[in-house]
Structure 1
């Protein structure tokens, strides 16, 4: 038998169609003196008339063939293919999903249910089979993969969960008014507990639930990690009848920790002055009067002052709230008084006050002042907001105010004030926190390496296995803490990225003599103007009404 089996006699136009044993439809053209034009559609119709309509046609080959005919050029080209139905099985990398792709036949062996099932059997897909999806795959004219089997994913066990049972933490949240507006300065009262109050419940870890893949293999799931309360508890103890329950042993402010709640004592004093002396305290402090000049207050928790803070120093591990004002001594007073000081406040969380004058304020979160700041030096890791909506008293007059994410005020500068400088988008506190977190991660890594050496050294010493167990428990806690540090570092870096969109919002007016910095860009205001927003646009500092 020749290479081509002739299916039709040569036409008057010199066109011949033949089908090979491999099912390829060949088109041959032998030019003669008679020239004519033809297109791909006409060639296809010729093939259909000769009984090849079910074949899989190559449209580009038909187009090229038509061009050769129009140019009266001899050629031989495969323009169609007889194809059998095809079956392909795809299994996902996690072995939980199997898909069947059925390619329809083109004049060849038609789709067969048995052939499709055999292909799945060869792929060993036996679990989670969906008969309806299988039938859909057989009738899918587009030949797209269809999910025909699904396994059951393993569910990892839940780690020990620590559930607070009391309002906790110095990070109290703002509350919405009846009209739905949020007063960002109203954080409610300091939560308090008394001896015997429940603080936290420890929920034991849960076992993992195994799964099954489409090959009917069992997929094991890890159990949750078992964590316990720390050995040393502050102001709390385990319930005598329920070791998973924590109760308070003293009166104070509950503070949420990663794996427990500690109770910080809260003390009250009528004021801080020469008669009380400086105060250093592990807990929170409520001052019902004033903090007089020259005094120093340092506490691990919150400081609440119901009076005024003069040229004193307050350091807090939580927030500082001054219901009155903060009034330090101005530069002239400090020059004439050898003991003259600014008021200096440093809070690990927020600083809130009615007003501030001649004060140095550092907040590792945000600063909120109700009325005005005059000749102050303020640095906040997040935001600075001066003024209360509708009161028209939110002045920043003189001094310097820095915040990473944004500054909001009613007015910048003021008649007769010294130069006012505000800066957003860059904050040394943020980089300091990022560097501290990196150092903490490095220290934890070194501690883990030292513990690993100890564990390896004691591994073959039977009399030291209790030490090995303790070391491994410590290692697990270190690994958990290092993961937390990585997450905290990522959050700080995210804040640094957010600072690129920082802005200065002015609700009422900007006075001449004000300098505004956003990132590395700066502008000096030479004329008084109304409300607006300073922001970066295409790396240019602009001021607009929106």
Structure 2
């Protein structure tokens, strides 16, 4: 055995999952060595290598191979395989996206994931326990079992233990919120909103077969479909909003959705879409925001402000009368205006505090500070400073929370299918350009920090 130690040594990997045999400087392939497999096995055991031994390598070593062949992996351990976490398999598609192929109609804005009573929604898969490993020394390597996936039943959903499956107990819209699966039934109103129904605040989707008049509020945790018009009302959805006719806001109405908005026309209203805004006809004197795109291919945008994160596709912008109209990319104009206002107030407060600091030093330097009049003046000064500092802290907190960014202005584009008229302001982030003359059939982009107008097609 000592003879083998003269020519070979063993190195075990740090993870103990492999062992290599090395030859010493005394080893030469032309030596007349006569080590059999049993002796080499004993040598391995002496070096605590007991598992995963490669007998083919042992035969190579006993045959006195060339020195350049070393080192050789003479044993391999078995790595531990940790268990897989539990999984859930859904039986229906949650996506609300529409495939935009060559036959896509922009009127098809969303697909509502709907389920029927008794329909299987999902099935839980158990975690696996894993498989233990073994080191080359023969020691066991612990495997960690997978974690169980915790999914709970929400509204209108039941769980069947036998096959670990979830089922709907009513017709409705399927949603996931955190670890809960819900089915939100659809609430329908078969007439215009009136005092008979009052305001609507519903967790699921709402369908209204009529109008939403002035002053009413409609809120939904799902989608809202209105087969009529919306006057100076408030319509807020956690999903998408569809209005078959139009929205006349009278500068007080609001339409807001976290997903898409599809509407016939917009007049003097405020509209905010978390994704896309589709308008069949015109947008007049309104403030609109879409974090993705605005599509208004058959109508005009006249007056007001339009903010978009990615693109605006429109027939006409502005008019022959030169009505001021603003199109902004990359930022929410209303939030940016609010930030600018707060920044201005912040600068004024900082300037006032600087002047107050000078005044305070003068007051503290007065020899008669203990007199009643001086004490009153000093206390007034301290009170003014405290109010200014408190307001400044509040402003900084609000400014930190305000985020006007809604996309990348460098990737944004404005497509005009007919005319863009004078007195239209186009902004890409901080870059702004006033249109001085009418252009026909053009695209506008931000290229190398410069707003470029070029023909839509050459």
Tell me if TM exceeds 0.5. yes
1:357-368 mapped onto 2 (5 Å cutoff): 357-368=267-278
Residue aligning to 1:281: 202
1:52-451 matched pairs, under 5 angstroms: 127=52, 154-168=80-94, 171-175=95-99, 180-183=102-105, 185-187=107-109, 190-211=112-133, 218-230=140-152, 233-239=154-160, 242=162, 244-269=164-189, 270-329=191-250, 341-380=251-290, 382-387=291-296, 392-416=297-321, 418-427=323-332
CA offsets 1:130-171 (integer angstroms, 9 cap, x no match): 979x99xx9999x99999987665443232223222344xx5
Q: Is 1:501 the equivalent of 2:410?
A: yes
C-alpha distance after superposition, 1:273-327 (max 9, x if no partner): 3443222222210012222222211222210112222221101122111122222
Question: Over alpha carbons, which structure has the higher Rg?
Answer: 1
C-alpha deviation, 1:344, in angstroms: 0.8
Q: How far apart are the structure 2 equivalents of 1:511 and 1:220?
A: 73
| Structure with the larger RCO, 1 or 2 (CA within 8 Å, 6+ apart) | 2
Superimposed CA distance per residue, residues 387-439 of structure 1 (whole angstroms, 9 cap, x where no aligned partner): 3xxxx5153322111133443434433333622212222348999xxxxxxxx
Alignment root-mean-square deviation, CA:
4.5
Q: 2:432, 2:34 → 1: CA distance?
A: 76
- C-alpha deviation, 1:217, in angstroms: 5.5
TM-score normalized with structure 1 length:
0.55
Report the TM-score, using the length of structure 2 for normalisation: 0.64
Please give the alpha-carbon distance, in whole angstroms, between the structure 2 residues aligned to 1:216 and 1:308: 77
* Corresponding residue SS for 2:321: coil
Cα deviation digits, residues 69-89 of structure 1 (max 9, x gap): xxxxxxxxxxxxxxxxx9998
Partners of 2:164 and 2:127 lie apart in 1 by 12
Aligned length: 366
In structure 1, the residue matched to 2:392 is: none
**Residue segments in structure 1 that go unaligned for 5+ positions in a row:** 1-85, 330-340, 432-494
Distance 1:512 1:428, change over 3 A: closer
User: How far, CA to CA, are the matches of 2:137 and 2:437 in structure 1?
Assistant: 77
Q: 2:274, 2:292 within 8 Å by CA — same for their partners in 1?
A: no
Whole-angstrom distance in 2 between the partners of 1:286 and 1:386? 24
Could you give the per-residue CA deviations for residues 172-227 of structure 1, whole angstroms, max 9, x where no partner exists? 120356xx544455256534334323222222222223445677665433222123
- Structure 2: distance between partners of 1:100 and 1:184: 70
Per the alignment, residue 526 of structure 1 pairs with: 436
Residue 393 of structure 1: SS of its match in structure 2? strand
SS in 2 for 1:416: coil
Question: For residues 414 and 237 of structure 1, what CA distance do their matches in structure 2 show?
Answer: 58
| Greater displacement, 402-411 / 309-318 | 402-411
Shift of 1:545: 5.1
Distance change >3 Å, CA 350–CA 187, structure 1 → 2: closer
The one-character-per-residue Cα deviations of 1:348-406 (angstroms, maximum 9, x if unpaired) are 222222332222011233322233322221123x312213xxxx515332211113344
Change (3 A) 1:153 1:412: farther
In 2, Cα distance between equivalents of 1:518 and 1:301:
33
Q: Distance in 2 between matches of 1:214 and 1:184?
A: 64
Counterpart-to-counterpart distance in 2, 1:386 and 1:216: 68
Distance 2:437 2:203 in 1: 50
Residue 268 of structure 1: CA displacement?
1.0
Give the unaligned 5+ runs of structure 2: 1-7, 337-403
Q: Deviations over 1:82-126 (max 9, x none)?
A: xxxx999895x7666889999xx9xx96799999x99x9789697
Residue of structure 1 equivalent to 2:381: none
- State the alpha-carbon separation in 2 of the partners of residues 371 and 346 from structure 1: 19
Give matches, 1:470-509, under 5 Å. Answer: 499=408, 501-508=410-417, 509=419
SS of alignment partner, residue 298 of structure 2 = coil
Hey, what's the Cα distance between the residues in 1 that align with 2:435 and 2:55? 71
Checking the alignment, whether the CA contact within 8 Å between 2:79 and 2:133 is kept in structure 1 is: yes
